[in-house]
Structure 1
Amino acid sequence: MHRYRSHNCAALRKSDVGNTVRLSGWVHRVRDHGGVLFIDLRDHYGVTQVVADPDSAAFSLAETVRGEWVIRIDGEVKARSDDTVNANLPTGEVEVYAREIEVLSAAKELPLPVFGEPEYPEDVRLKYRFLDLRRETLHRNIVRRTEIIAAMRELMNGVGFTEYSTPILTASSPEGARDFLVPSRIHPGNFYALPQAPQQYKQLIMASGFDRYFQIAPCFRDEDPRADRLPGEFYQLDLEMSFVEQEDILTAMEPVIRSVFEKFADGKPVTQEFPRIPYAEAIRKYGSDKPDLRNPIEMQAVTEHFAGSGFKVFANMIANDAKVEVWAIPAKTGGSRAFCDRMNSWAQGEGQPGLGYIFWREEEGAVAGAGPLAKNIGPERTDAIRGQLGLEAGDACFFVAGVPEKFVGFAGDARTRVGEELELIDKERFDLCWIVDFPFYEWNDEENRLDFSHNPFSMPQGGLEALESQDPKSILAYQYDIVCNGFEIGSGGIRNHVPELMVKAFGLVGFDAAVVEEQFGGLYRAFQYGVPPHGGMAAGIDRIVMLLLGAKNLREVTMFPMNQQAQDLLMGAPGEADAAQLRELNLRVIPVVKDD
């Protein structure tokens, strides 16, 4: 028999009754039932119940074991009685009567419990992550994560992609976030950067004559953490294709993403044909370029119904500025004053003066509007709004007014709030879509200059002619995102592979040809020697896993994450370097002077 086990802790079945077996694992819990000890023995695969009675030679040692000790058990498999069968365990029809126990590793008093998984402070969970990972839910999540990644690889291979690895030590690149820098010992005063993404390398792979690349790529960004992005590093399904247009990439990747969701959705419906929603339409309908389509609310402009109306706040805004619009947020089933007042209070809590509303009720056999706005604009305009939005008695509508680009974020939040409060969102499904036609440029108010709104490597729609003749803010990009349930889970674009066009595009944001060649030298140089039209995307693995598992935080689907302060409490990183290390790297640390 093997030194440690003949079976794992999920393997035994009724067909094994009568056999002598050997198991090894962790003591999940110990129960004393009238002098008979029951030990739940756990390993990576599952749990088996072990019984030690006073007649067993193993009983005296069994009395000493505690939670999370690692032990070996030799014993005989017996069938449980009908009234003690545990239908929740694959091994629930049998138990092992212990004949011999060996303690392989004793455990000190635990800093956090493994059995039962009660809520526990995050700093303790992260410091003792090796214990936290033994907990059933987190352990299962990590296993599921590896299965999802394996499925991605299999699907990508199945549609003709080949996995290639790209460097981790590379050059710094202005891609929208701070780089992690690595000092070079051999080249004093110079630094490598950890890649924010394999963007330039995957384009160089296309320039090198390979066709369909993919990689489960680690990416490193020195930015503040948030719930849907971990500090430090994350992983993405990165891909690139040659001789393609935007439609080719969407057509290739949609079945892959859909298949991943269908395989791991636990029966929840998954969108079959992903709608393609232009960015401008998404902003106007949903107030976001990451719309949660499970929420049925679609906003509409109702400016004409308030122009010249008795509601002077909106009417004067419309009269004084041609850019002003009024948007309506319909709220099916929200037609009560109590709910409308609650939404108004929420808006004030968000720093807004309030949230105008109308709600409709049945009066004398007719549907009539109620609330201050209804009184001010009159029954005819109120009914016209109801007709436009398809509302009826028992429904409500909220209104925001101003220059859309200034209120759109709040409008989107209000749409989400209404959907959640009225329980209009079907949380038992995965709704996916493509957002397309992003603006190529945007105006940076802080620096008072034009900037790229998304990926600077994308191809502008209209090419060089658009860059030379159009208002830059009106130019669209061959840029697309994939969105699921209100989360951006992927982003990509057709690349700008024409050197002259690339220089012109960067020139409009203040980078001349010399800067482009210096900062993107490898890519720019490659484009001088024949490069195919190409494009690709990257899908965030961590976010996809989080959505599929219903987790609230990426730390629940990541094996060894950092905390919110970008610290690894388990390994003690970041840490100080000693004087010898600093000398070798030609570095010295300048103390930070804190302001009083």
Structure 2
Amino acid sequence: MAESMAGLHRTHRCTELSEANIGENVTVMGWVQRSRNKGSIIFTDLRDRSGILQIVFEEENCGNEYYEKAGKLHAEYVIAVEGEVRARSAVNDKIPTGHIEIVAKTLRILAEAETPPFPIEENSKTREDLRFKYRYLDLRRPDIQRNLMTRSKIANVARNFFAEEGFLEVETPTLIKSTPEGARDYLVPSRMHPGNFYALPQSPQLLKQLLMVAGYDRYFQIARCYRDEDLRADRQPEFTQVDMELSFVDVEDVIDVNERFLKKLFKEVKGIDIPTPIQRMTWKECMERFGSDKPDIRFGMELKNVSDVVKDSEFVVFKSALEAGGSVRGINVEGQGEMPRKKIDALVEFAKGNGAKGLAWLALKEDGTTKSSFAKFLTPEIEKALIEAMGAKAGDLLLFAADRNKIVFQVLGALRLEMARQLELTRKDDYRFLWVTEFPLLEWSDEEERFVAMHHPFTMPMEEDLDKIDTDPGAVRAKAYDITLNGNEIGGGSVRIHQGHIQEKMLEVLGFTKEKAQEQFGFLLDAFKYGVPPHAGLAYGLDRLVMLMVEADSIRDVIAFPKVKDASCLMMEAPSEVDVKQLDELGIAVKPQEETAEKDAE
């Protein structure tokens, strides 16, 4: 039976004790990791968020009552122990408290526990769905607790840094107007305004711009954001941003303050000195060299454009791609010329899974011979030129993609990362930052048959490209910048449009009529009539940043209560049906799935 805590006061967490405390009487509390009854002595490992401490129950020290009670302890019982700190006879250097133990004098069982559905241990091999169903137990694991403690430290470093830099922390609302330009909004029905909906913010973008209009100069917020989108290992439907906006600044000012922030953050949290200034690369160069706008620069294997080399080839795959205005590019996987055909075929399937129609390859054997998927179309001259252009040598494997540039970059960018994974070319503790700059302002959407904003409709075009916005919108570069780390975008931002006529032109290019623009963004356009300072900002994905800093495989390991791939919470069983009365109050009727399917079929 659970006992009361009356009269007890915890003096220390487990790992707050050390050899300096030997001889002291202390009180500790926590969970039983395990308990071992050796007949005349009971050893119990006590766990709290700080770590593990050994408790020793000896009948001569704690008396028969407490000794018998200690014999009933099981894993995950919550206990309080009073006792004396002494030196351990059998030292355990694997834990911080391995040189001491507590000789118990009293014991209270504060809560009993059933046997948990999986062991509470580091690096759990328990399948994810079971861990997330019992997430409150999963959160007891020391590695998950360390992740969340690091997350807390990162948030505190951010708050302190930006406060010292003159930023004001301002909370923005989470019930806002829906502005469905981009990812899908989560909608919240209004009881007070039947038939109308709020949206949960995808970011505080427009609100922080309005704070600049209001004269707050420097804004900062650790903001909750929501996007109704398909999930991946580094995505969640609700996530957290370290968000900022600055007035009277340009690109260099934003980059400067953020390089100093990252330097401070990694020094305080990881003890790592980040070299600054951080390397920069334009979006175009990133795509040409790495096939990605968030390149992993910890290894080479850069893309090479061999279109000119193979332009006279009779290989129909190359020929048709070039005739359609595409390109032929390749990567050199050094030292893999003897890769078995079965593994090469798997790479071909991987390329197809990333949008390719196929994958051409050329293997340079160690004996100087070559083997290729398109050998019968290769003249000795083209083969030689191709090998030279790729910087290849005996023992290398060349992989080629031919298609529209967008597809080629997508395929080879993914293939490059896959080869690095297979060949173990990277380490998680090798931190390589990169600023990616000069993104395209717009990109063509085949689905919508119009230009859409690559970042958002409030990003400032580069001044020297403004004259192209009507004649060649796809060539206009943006004053946008992303900060990437080891192939992950950890933050992104831009200089914002602060002139009304440029903002109107941008919305016009995106297909907004004046009426539609006013309906959607009228509150922002109206505010722009009353004096807008030049302003810019950036936001970090806190979850992703923490994931990289603690070297976790998924952001789910750094979020207290994450959703799974279908955006559901297994622990709370959310989303769930609600009472009909609640729906009636909101004026909402839920259509049966069969009815919806029939309508879709029609």
TM-score, length-normalised on structure 1? 0.92
- Please list every run of 5 or more consecutive structure 2 residues that lacks an aligned counterpart in the other structure: 1-5
Return the alpha-carbon distance in structure 1 between the equivalents of residues 292 and 554 of structure 2. 21
Shift of 1:468: 5.1
Q: 5 Å matches for 1:103-182?
A: 103-115=109-121, 118-182=124-188
Q: Which residue of 1 aligns with 2:3?
A: none
For residues 464 and 428 of structure 1, the distance between their equivalents in structure 2, rounded to whole angstroms, comes to 40
Amino acid at match of 2:24: N
Structure 1 residues 377 and 254, CA gap change in structure 2 (3 angstroms): same
1:50 Cα deviation from its structure 2 partner: 0.7
Q: Distance in 1 between matches of 2:317 and 2:194?
A: 63
- 1:581 is displaced (CA, Å) by 2.7
Q: Find the aligned partners of 1:539 and 1:312 in 2 and give their Cα distance.
A: 46
2:315 match: 312
Secondary structure of the 2:143 match is helix
Work out whether residues 357 and 396 of structure 1, in 8 Å CA contact, stay in contact via their aligned partners in 2. Answer: yes
Query: Quick one: which of 73, 79, 88 aligns to 1:71?
Result: 79
Q: Which amino acid aligns with 2:130?
A: V
Aligned-pair distance for 1:578?
2.1
Residue aligning to 1:296:
300
Query: Equivalents in 2 of 1:274, 1:373: separation in Å?
Result: 42
Cα offsets for 1:495-531 (capped at 9, x unmatched) = 1122221121111222112211211122111100110
1:362-441 matches, cutoff 5 A: 371=372, 376-441=377-442
Q: Do 1:467 and 1:505's aligned partners in 2 also have CA atoms closer than 8 Å?
A: no
Equivalent in the alignment of 1:331: 333
Quote the offset at 1:403 in angstroms.
Answer: 2.5
Are the counterparts in 1 of residues 37 and 71 from structure 2 also a CA contact under 8 Å?
no
Cα distance change of structure 1 residues 576 and 399 upon mapping to structure 2, 3 Å threshold = closer
Question: Which residue of 8, 11, 29 corresponds with 1:6?
Answer: 11
Q: Using a 3 Å threshold, how does the CA distance of structure 1 residues 512 and 390 change in structure 2: closer, same or farther?
A: same
Q: Cα 1:396–1:243, aligned 2, differ >3 Å: closer, same or farther?
A: same
Aligned to 1:242: 247
For the 8 Å contact 1:9–1:48, the answer to whether it is kept is yes
Residue 348 of structure 2 corresponds to residue 347 of structure 1: yes
> What is the CA–CA distance in structure 2 between the aligned matches of 1:589 and 1:198, rounded to whole Å?
31
Equivalent residue in structure 2 for 1:37, among 38, 42, 52:
42
Name the amino acid aligned to 2:23: G
Question: Retained in 1: the 8 A contact 2:12–2:26?
Answer: yes
Report the AA paired with residue 329 of structure 1: I
**Are residues 535 and 342 of structure 1, via their aligned partners in 2, closer, same or farther at CA, if it must alter by over 3 Å?**
same
Which AA in structure 1 matches 2:140?
R
One-letter amino acid matched to 1:178: R
Matched-pair contact (CA < 8 Å) for 2:120–2:137:
yes
In the aligned structure 2, how far is the partner of 1:348 from the partner of 1:130?
40
- The 3-state SS of whatever aligns with 1:10 is helix
Is the deviation greater in 374-383 or in 558-567?
374-383
1:548-576 alpha-carbon deviations (Å, 9 max, x no partner): 11111111000111222222233332233
Q: Say which SS state the counterpart of residue 23 (structure 1) adopts.
A: strand
* Whole-angstrom CA distance in 2 between matches of 1:72 and 1:252: 48
1:28 is paired with a residue of what secondary structure? strand
Please state how far the C-alpha of 1:134 moved relative to its aligned partner: 0.8
Give the AA of the match of 2:84.
E
**SS of residue matched to 1:202:** helix
Mapped to 1, the partners of 2:202 and 2:528 lie a distance apart of 22
Q: Which residue of 1 aligns with 2:529?
A: 528
Deviation string 1:570-589 (CA, Å, 9 cap, x unpaired) is 33322333233334333333
Q: Aligned with 2:287: secondary structure?
A: helix
Q: Residue 305 of structure 1 aligns to which amino acid in structure 2?
A: V
**Contact 1:344 / 1:356 at 8 angstroms: preserved in 2?**
no
Q: Give the 3-state SS of the residue equivalent to 2:308 in structure 1.
A: helix
- Say yes or no: does 1:480 pair with 2:485: no
- Any conservation in 1 of the 2:460–2:497 contact (CA below 8 Å)? yes
Q: Is 2:361 the partner of 1:357?
A: yes
Report deviation, 1:331: 1.9
**What displacement does 1:202 show?**
0.4
Query: 279, 286, 290: which one pairs with 1:286?
Result: 290
In structure 2, the residue corresponding to 1:306 is in which secondary structure?
coil
The 3-state SS of whatever aligns with 1:37 is strand
Amino acid at match of 1:438: F
What does residue 555 of structure 2 align with?
554
Specify whether residues 315 and 28 from structure 1 end up closer, same or farther in structure 2 by C-alpha distance, changes over 3 A only.
closer
Does the Cα contact within 8 Å between 2:322 and 2:328 map onto a contact in 1?
A: no
Aligned to 2:16, the other structure's residue is in SS state: coil
Q: How many residues align?
A: 586
TM-score scaled by structure 2? 0.91
Q: Are residues 264 and 172 of structure 1, via their aligned partners in 2, closer, same or farther at CA, if it must alter by over 3 Å? A: same
Residues 218-275 of structure 1 show CA distances to partners (whole Å, capped at 9, x for unaligned) of: 10122222210112x10011111111122221222122124323443465x8554322
Structure 1 residues 23, 134: CA separation in 2 closer, same or farther (over 3 Å shift)? Answer: same
The separation in 1 between residues aligned to 2:346 and 2:465, in whole angstroms, is 50
Q: Is the 8 A contact 2:248 2:534 kept in 1?
A: yes
Cα pair 1:503 1:512 within 8 Å, conserved: no
What's the secondary structure of 2:566's corresponding residue?
A: coil
The letter for the 1-side match of 2:78 is V
| Structure 2 counterparts to residues 497-576 of structure 1, below 5 A | 497-576=498-577
- Contact 1:460 1:466 survives alignment (8 Å): no
| CA apart distance, 1:205 | 0.5
Single out whichever of 256-265 and 411-420 deviates more from structure 2. 256-265
8 A Cα contact 1:294 1:427, kept in partner: no
Partners in 2 of 1:294 and 1:208 — Cα distance? 43
Secondary structure, counterpart of 1:459 in structure 2: coil
| Alignment partners' CA distance in 1, 2:582 and 2:102 | 55
Is the CA contact (8 Å cut-off) linking 2:429 and 2:551 kept in structure 1? no
Gaps of 5+ in 1: none
- In structure 2, the residue matched to 1:96 is 102
Q: Which moved more, 1:579-588 or 1:238-247?
A: 579-588
Closer/same/farther in 2, CA of residues 203 and 22 from structure 1, 3 Å limit: same
Q: Distance in 1 between matches of 2:401 and 2:587?
A: 58
Give runs of ≥4 in structure 1 deviating > 4 Å: 367-370, 372-376
Residues 424 and 560 (structure 1 numbering): CA distance in 2 closer, same or farther, change over 3 Å?
closer
SS in 1 for 2:456: coil
**Could you tell which deviates more after superposition, 566-575 or 171-180?**
566-575
